[in-house]
Amino acid sequence: MPSAGASLHDLSFREMAETLEASGVNPQHAKALWKAIYRDGDRDLHVRSFSPPLKRWLDERLGDGREFHVDSPEVVDEIHSSDGLTRKFLLRLSDGQVIETVLMGYDGRHTVCVSTQAGCAMGCVFCATGQMGFVRHLRPGEIVAQVLHARRVLREIAPHRRLRNLVMMGMGEPLHNIDSVLKALDIISDVRGIGIGPSKIAISTVGVVPGIRRLADENSPYRLAVSLHGSTEEERAALVPASQKWSLAMLMEACRDYGERTGKRIFFEWTLIEGSNDSPETARRLADLLRGMDAHVNLIPLNPTAGYSGKTSASGHGFQRILREAGFPCTFRQRRGIDVAAGCGMLKAERRSKPAVVVPKA
C-alpha cells in the first residue's frame, strides 16, 4: 500500500527547517535530523536520541498513516556479478512500481547508477527500459533513497570505501523528470549529508533539448552525458524515436550552446550496433558533427535485449581510431555486471515472468 503523507526524503534542508518551524520546533533541529537521515543513514528515526522537541515531533508526525514517512524501498531481488564488482538491485516502491539500482566497483572508487522514472517514454529501440514504456516519474525522495541504499550496502561490504560517484543512467530519462532530478541532486550533493560532489555526478540524456538548455541557463554544476547513437537525422531516428521531436540539428545546437555557456565538456555516448552505426563513414561524420566542441566520446558495446535483434559491433576499435585521429578523446565504457543484466531495465525485464524473491531487510 502507498505510504501516507509526504516523504522527509523529498524535503530540501531549507524545507525541512521550515517544516519544523511551522510546527513550533526550533529550525536549528533540522541539522540533527538531516545528519541522522543522510550522513548516518538511519532508517528508524524513532530509536535515535534526539532533543525532546524533535523527538516529540517525530513521534507525533512520522509513521504509517501520519503526516510524514521516509522512503524505504523493498529489495525484491539482488544479484552479484561474477567479478564481485557489481551488485544490481530490483527495488519495489511504496505503490508497487519496481525500479533498478546498480552499485559498481572500479579501481579505487564506487559508483551508483540510479533510476529516475518507472519505465521510460523515450522508446530507444535497443533499450530494455524503453521497450517497457512509461509509467510515472520518481519523486526526489525515491531517487535519493536509491543512493542511500547503495551507500548502506557499500558500508556493509567495504566499510573503508566511500560512495564517490553517481550517474543518472538507470531506468528513465532524467531530463524528462528534471525538477525531481535536480532537487534530488541538491540533496545528494549537500555536504552536510551524503556529500557526493557535483563534479562526480553525471546526468545522462537521450537528447531532451529543453532540459539541456535549462542546465545551461542555470549553469548546472553536474556533468552532462548525451546519448547520440546516430550521425545523421535518418541514422539517429532509426534508433532514438525522441529525435522526431528534437532533431539532431536542434540537439547539436543546444549542446554547442551548453558548452559555450558553461565551459564544460560534454560526454557523448555511442552504443555500437553492427551494420547500423559502426561504419568508418559514420565515425567520420560524427567527428565532423562534433568539430569545435569540447567533447569526449564514450563507446558502449550493445547489451543484447529480447526486444531488439541488433548485434554488438566488432568494429569498435576502428571507430575509436578514426575519432582519436580527429582529435577527440574516445574510450570504451568499462563494462560492469553484464552477467547480471546490469544494462538499464534488463533485470526488471528478465524477472517479469519469474516469481519475485524478496530479500529480508537487515
Give whole-number Cα distances, 332 to 145, 269, 272, 297, 344, in Å.
30, 10, 10, 8, 18
Q: Which pLDDT score is estimated for 359?
A: 37
Last residue of one domain, picked from the residues 27, 48, 69: 69
Q: Which three cell numbers stand for residue 105?
A: 566497483
Q: Residue 5 pLDDT > 90, yes or no?
A: no
Q: What is the rounded average pLDDT of the residues 184-197?
A: 98
Mean pLDDT of 108-133: 91
Local confidence band at 304 (pLDDT 50, 70, 90 cut-offs): confident
Same domain (yes/no): 88, 60: no
Q: Are residues 186 and 90 in the same domain?
A: yes
Lowest mean pLDDT among 167-176, 300-309, 340-349: 340-349
Same domain, 210 and 343: yes
Catalytic residues: 100, 344
**Residue 113 and residue 60 share a domain:** no
> Which residues are CB-neighbours of 354 under 8 A, at least 6 positions away?
none
Which whole number is the average pLDDT over 18-37?
98
Q: Are residues 234 and 205 in the same domain?
A: yes
Quickly state the pLDDT bin for 358 (edges 50, 70, 90). very low
The CA distance from 165 to 90, in Å, is: 20
Q: Does residue 358 lie in a domain region?
A: no
Confidence of residue 348 (pLDDT cuts 50, 70, 90): low
Burial of 18 (0-12, 13-18, 19+ CB in 10 A): middle
Average pLDDT in the chain: 91
Give a yes or no: residue 361 inside a domain: no
Is residue 157, in this structure, part of any structural domain at all?
A: yes
Encode pLDDT of 192-214 as tens digits. 999 999 999 999 999 999 999 99
What is the span of the domain harbouring residue 291?
74-351
pTM of the complete model beyond 0.85: yes
* pLDDT for the residue numbered 97: 97
In a domain, 356, yes or no: no
| Domain termination site, one of 69, 87, 106 | 69
Alpha-carbon distance 70 to 175, whole Å? 25
Same domain, 61 and 100: no
Indicate whether 49 and 102 sit together in one domain: no
Q: Tell the burial category of 98 from Cβ atoms under 10 Å away from its Cβ (0-12, 13-18, 19+).
A: buried
Largest CA distance in the chain: 69
Is residue 36 located within the same domain as residue 168?
A: no
What residues does 267 pair with on adjacent strands?
225, 296
Structural domain total, the chain: 2
- Flag whether 50 is in a domain: yes
